[in-house]
């Protein structure tokens, strides 16, 4: 059985909900976890790392702008050479915005694309460079309902998520035969977060009926896909509460 403690796991977009749960999940199985958020949120990611370290795991937080090519290159190089060989990379930034089409400026459209699609490309490319040396590893991308269909007011977000899904598909076809598992996760529904609680109280009330996604359960699904036998790899998995409409 693989000794996970000899490897590192990078989680980009290690926020307070899904990203934090993913970081804790992989740390609980022995990985040296490297959660990252944008530089302005370094205090939050350091708090997450400290919590994991206190519980007996290994973690180091990073402040990284995932849209910055040089920053991503330096980040991966540091983790690979100074912490442990990179075995898992999860790309999990949000970038969800709502703007009617006439209010969607070129700046908004470009920024959302940079965050959700371009940054995903940079992340996947750097992960592949290191994993190909060992012919193993997992590269996971977090998608959304918008990855599958464009809704009213979400032209920027949907187009970026569509693009990220295409990147994941292309990478899977290229890297799968080289032993690298690339998967895309469609999160179709509201997640138990402070944002949903504050902005959508009626939706959040469904938590009592298991009507919104729980971050720990999402993390369980990522771990399941990561540990699949290579004869039966999943490329795309959609997760939704039992009462969510298709």
Please check whether residue 188 is in contact with residue 134, taking contact to mean a CB–CB distance below 8 angstroms.
no
DSSP 213: B
What local confidence, expressed as pLDDT, does residue 162 receive?
Answer: 93
Instruction: Give the pLDDT of the chain (246 residues) as one tens digit per residue.
Output: 789 999 999 999 998 899 999 999 999 999 999 999 999 899 999 999 999 999 999 999 999 999 999 999 999 999 999 999 999 999 998 877 777 788 878 998 899 899 999 999 999 999 999 999 999 999 999 998 888 787 887 788 888 999 999 999 999 999 999 999 999 999 988 899 888 888 889 999 999 999 999 999 999 999 999 999 999 999 999 999 999 877
Closest to 188 in 3D by CA, of 231, 137, 130, 236? 236
Domain extent listing, the chain: 4-233
DSSP 117: I
Burial annotation 143-157 (CB, 10 A radius, 16+ → b, else e): bbbbbeebeeebbbb
Please check whether residue 140 is in contact with residue 187, taking contact to mean a CB–CB distance below 8 angstroms.
no
What's the CA angle centered on 135, arms 169 and 5, to 5 degrees? 105
Contacts of 99 (CB under 8 A, 6+ apart): 108, 153, 155, 156
- CATH number for the domain formed by residue range(s) 4-233: 3.40.50.720
In this structure, is the dihedral angle defined by the CA atoms of residues 234, 132, 114 and 74, taken in order, positive or negative? positive
Whole-model pTM: value is 0.94
What local confidence, expressed as pLDDT, does residue 124 receive?
Answer: 98
Closest to 8 in 3D by CA, of 45, 34, 47, 35? 34
């Amino acid at each position: 059985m693989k000794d996970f403690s000899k490897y590192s796991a990078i989680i980009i977009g290690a926020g307070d909900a899904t990203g934090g749960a993913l970081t804790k999940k992989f740390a609980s199985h022995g990985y040296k976890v490297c959660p990252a958020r944008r530089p302005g949120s370094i205090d939050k990611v350091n708090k997450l790392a400290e919590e994991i370290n206190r519980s007996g795991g290994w973690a180091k937080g990073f402040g990284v702008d995932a849209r910055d090519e040089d920053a991503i290159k330096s980040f991966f190089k540091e983790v690979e050479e100074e912490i442990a060989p990179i075995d898992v990379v999860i790309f999990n930034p949000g970038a969800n915005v709502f703007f009617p089409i006439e209010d969607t400026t070129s700046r908004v459209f470009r920024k959302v694309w940079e965050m959700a699609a371009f940054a995903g490309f940079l992340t996947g490319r750097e992960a592949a460079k290191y994993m190909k040396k060992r012919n193993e590893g997992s590269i996971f991308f977090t998608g959304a309902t918008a990855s599958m269909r464009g809704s009213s007011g979400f032209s920027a977000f949907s187009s970026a998520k569509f693009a990220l899904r295409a990147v994941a598909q292309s990478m899977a076809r290229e890297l799968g035969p080289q032993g690298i598992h690339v998967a895309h996760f469609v999160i179709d529904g509201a997640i138990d977060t402070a944002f949903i609680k504050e902005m959508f109280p009626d939706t959040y009330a469904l938590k009592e009926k298991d009507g919104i996604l729980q971050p720990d359960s999402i993390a369980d699904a990522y771990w399941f896909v990561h540990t699949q036998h290579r004869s039966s790899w999943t490329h795309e998995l959609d997760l939704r509460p039992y009462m969510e409409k298709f």
